[in-house]
């Protein structure tokens, strides 16, 4: 995956959307084409994707009209039909009722005290769908400075803001997931980054969104507050919170940890996600160092490149069945910085990382 960067200074969501759409029209159109080709091959017709995308955009417009305006302007700037970019932003909602994908392993160490949280997550996804990614820095009308990572044409995935709140993102699957087209979970992540100045505020914002697809947003703060970190497990049935362990560690992969929601678990490969969580539980004792490269090395543990948190695409398999660790990223809430590499944690440990 090739990662591009953009620092935009406009405070207008519509102007920002048009700017991104025009500047990265080629990448946005390419990403959209890849997903529109992918949907039917996993059982979602384009007419169904269009319906879900349009419903999700309407839900977003009702919940946070400024973000809907940005999507609309981005589609115009990239010269794409609006329904196509709406379906792209709702890709989790489009796929939720038909497929059970797995992605991401997240670690956050946020004990009480003056030290800012230490975090590191992997993003594992279909290698064929994301040849390019975007690191975006923006300022909101309310004076918040935000840095985030997203797939081209989408609103957000993970990031940090100037209030010292960071956010990691993992997909989940629940029996209540449906094709009605709720607020896109990636848009929820974006609003939390734009508005939340505490974990408590992030939780309240997340609770206010009607979702049709499940996900978990792990939020944390540089401030020694209570709660200082939480995994917000979203599903159409209910929203639940998972708090850090007594030692300050908060770990998440791709299955529900809330006891009630776990009863409706629908992940396709539960042994895989449980194996990754078990691996993280074994290695976190060595992940408490401030140096990100040392943490990344520790995250892989003695298995190194063969650690269960590292995915490599099997090119003999169809792309609908292939996953790759496309990104490893730590979030520095003290300096509002994303530290990342396009690759596995072992790649980060050996080659170093970029700061944005």
Are 167 and 78 contacting, i.e. CB atoms less than 8 angstroms apart?
no
* 2 within some domain: no
Distance in angstroms (rounded) separating the CA atoms of residues 120 and 204: 24
Tokens of 216: 């978990």
- Same domain membership, residue 166 and residue 59: no
* 5 within some domain: no
Q: Which of 71, 96, 121 is the last residue of a domain?
A: 96
* 17 within some domain: yes
pLDDT at 96: 87
| Type and span of the H or E element at 242 | strand 239-242
- Same domain membership, residue 337 and residue 217: yes
- Same domain membership, residue 326 and residue 205: yes
Burial class (CB in 10 A: 0-12, 13-18, 19+), 3: middle
Are 309 and 119 contacting, i.e. CB atoms less than 8 angstroms apart?
no
- Same domain membership, residue 129 and residue 41: no
Distance in angstroms (rounded) separating the CA atoms of residues 104 and 109: 17
- Same domain membership, residue 186 and residue 301: yes
Tokens of 257: 């940890």
Burial class (CB in 10 A: 0-12, 13-18, 19+), 142: exposed
* 207 within some domain: yes
Q: Which of 96, 118, 153 is the last residue of a domain?
A: 96
Domain CATH code at residue 65: 1.10.10
- Same domain membership, residue 255 and residue 110: yes
pLDDT at 127: 92
- Same domain membership, residue 150 and residue 35: no
In total, how many domains does the chain have? 2
**Residue 280's domain spans which residues?**
105-355
- Same domain membership, residue 30 and residue 117: no
β partners of residue 168: 218
| Type and span of the H or E element at 345 | helix 345-351
- Same domain membership, residue 34 and residue 117: no
* 251 within some domain: yes
- Same domain membership, residue 136 and residue 82: no
Domain CATH code at residue 231: 3.60.60.10
* 4 within some domain: no
Q: What is the pLDDT tens value at each position of the chain, 356 positions in all?
A: 999 999 999 999 999 999 999 999 999 999 999 999 999 999 999 999 999 999 999 999 999 999 999 999 999 999 999 999 999 999 999 998 666 666 799 999 999 999 999 999 999 999 999 999 999 999 999 999 999 999 999 999 999 999 999 999 999 999 999 999 999 999 999 999 999 999 999 999 999 999 999 999 999 999 999 999 999 999 999 999 999 999 999 999 999 999 999 999 988 788 899 999 999 999 999 999 999 999 999 999 999 999 999 999 999 989 888 999 999 999 999 999 999 999 999 999 999 999 99
* 256 within some domain: yes
pLDDT at 269: 80
Q: Which of 69, 96, 123 is the last residue of a domain?
A: 96
* 3 within some domain: no
- Where residue 153 falls (left for φ over 0; alpha for ψ -120 to 50; beta otherwise) is left
- Same domain membership, residue 52 and residue 153: no
Distance in angstroms (rounded) separating the CA atoms of residues 343 and 356: 16
pLDDT at 206: 98
- Same domain membership, residue 16 and residue 154: no
């Amino acid at each position: 995956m090739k990662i591009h960067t953009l620092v935009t200074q406009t405070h207008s969501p519509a102007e920002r959307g048009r700017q991104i759409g025009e500047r990265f029209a080629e990448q946005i159109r390419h990403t959209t084409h890849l997903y529109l080709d992918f949907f039917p091959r996993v059982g979602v017709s384009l007419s169904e994707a269009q319906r879900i995308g349009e419903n999700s955009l309407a839900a977003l417009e009702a919940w946070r009209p400024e973000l809907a305006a940005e999507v609309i302007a981005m589609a115009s700037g990239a010269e794409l039909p609006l329904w196509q970019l709406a379906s792209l932003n709702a890709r989790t909602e489009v796929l939720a009722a038909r497929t059970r994908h797995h992605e991401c392993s997240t670690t956050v160490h946020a004990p009480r005290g003056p030290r800012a949280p230490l975090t590191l997550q992997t993003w594992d996804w279909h290698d064929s769908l994301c040849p390019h990614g975007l690191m975006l820095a923006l300022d909101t009308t309310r004076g918040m400075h935000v840095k985030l990572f997203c797939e081209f044409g989408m609103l957000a995935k993970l990031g940090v803001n100037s209030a010292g709140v960071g956010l990691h993102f993992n997909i989940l699957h629940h029996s209540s997931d449906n094709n009605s087209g709720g607020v896109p979970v990636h848009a929820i992540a974006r609003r939390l980054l734009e508005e939340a100045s505490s974990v408590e505020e992030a939780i309240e914002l997340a609770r206010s969104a009607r979702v049709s697809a499940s996900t978990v947003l792990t939020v944390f703060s540089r401030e020694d507050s209570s709660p200082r970190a939480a995994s917000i497990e979203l599903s159409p049935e209910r929203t639940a919170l998972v708090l850090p362990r007594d030692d300050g560690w908060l770990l998440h992969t791709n299955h529900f940890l809330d006891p009630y929601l776990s009863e409706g678990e629908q992940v396709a490969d539960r042994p895989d996600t449980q194996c990754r969580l078990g691996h993280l539980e074994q290695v976190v004792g060595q992940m408490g160092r401030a140096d990100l490269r040392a943490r990344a090395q520790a995250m892989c543990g003695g298995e190194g490149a063969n650690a269960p948190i590292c995915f490599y695409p099997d090119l003999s398999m169809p792309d609908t069945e292939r996953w790759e660790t496309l990104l490893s990223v730590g979030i520095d809430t003290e300096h509002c910085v994303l530290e990342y590499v396009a690759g596995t944690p072992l790649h980060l440990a050996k080659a170093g990382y970029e700061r944005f």
